[in-house]
């Protein structure tokens, strides 16, 4: 039971942004609240994959706290290499440890590895 239920102050909940009833609200969902890079630690590692392929893996940056597709795009562009997102890991083809360490630090992440 809500406070004021059944009285003139008993109003159904309305959207804070458009003032419509929540059922009628068509506001776009709010952008994800991301965690600032300074509060996260990226862990870097160079690993071997099948057929001797070498990849640089970035761990420790959860998808909920980061715009991983955008970040992957920046890393790929900086390295001039391909890459993918696997679960919460970013994988860049080739050994780009130094470059990624510098770039992630520049963005503001703490970097380990």
Q: In this structure, what is the dihedral angle of CA atoms 55, 56, 61, 67, given to the nearest 10 degrees?
A: -70
Judged by phi (left if over 0) then psi (alpha if -120 to 50, else beta), residue 87 lies in: left
- Would you say 17 or 53 has its CB closer to Zn ion? 17
Name the one range near Zn ion by CB under 5 A: 9-17, 40-48, 65-73, 74-82: 9-17
- Cα–Cα distance between 49 and 16 in angstroms, integer? 50
Q: What is the contact mask toward Zn ion in residues 14 to 53, using x (rule: CB under 5 A)?
A: -x-xx------x-x--------------------------
Number of residues that bind Zn ion (CB under 5 A): 5
54 sits near Zn ion (criterion: CB under 5 A): no
Name the one range near Zn ion by CB under 5 A: 13-21, 38-46, 58-66, 82-90: 13-21
Q: How far is the CB of 33 from Zn ion (least distance, A)?
A: 18
Match 């102050």 to its residue by tokens.
9
Phi, psi of 73 (to 5 degrees): -60, -45
Q: How far is the CB of 25 from Zn ion (least distance, A)?
A: 3
Q: In this structure, what is the dihedral angle of CA atoms 109, 61, 86, 56, given to the nearest 10 degrees?
A: 30
List of residues contacting Zn ion (CB under 5 A): 15, 17-18, 25, 27
């Amino acid at each position: 039971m809500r406070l004021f239920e059944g009285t003139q102050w008993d109003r159904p909940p309305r959207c804070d942004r458009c003032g419509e009833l929540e059922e009628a609200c068509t506001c776009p969902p709010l952008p994800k609240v991301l965690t600032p890079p300074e509060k996260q630690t990226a862990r870097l590692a160079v690993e071997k994959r099948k057929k001797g392929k070498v990849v640089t893996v970035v761990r420790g940056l959860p998808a909920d706290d980061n715009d991983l597709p955008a970040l992957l795009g920046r890393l790929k562009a900086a390295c001039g290499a391909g890459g993918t997102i696997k679960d919460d890991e970013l994988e860049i083809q080739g050994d780009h440890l130094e470059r990624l360490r510098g770039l992630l630090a520049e963005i503001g992440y703490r970097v380990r590895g």
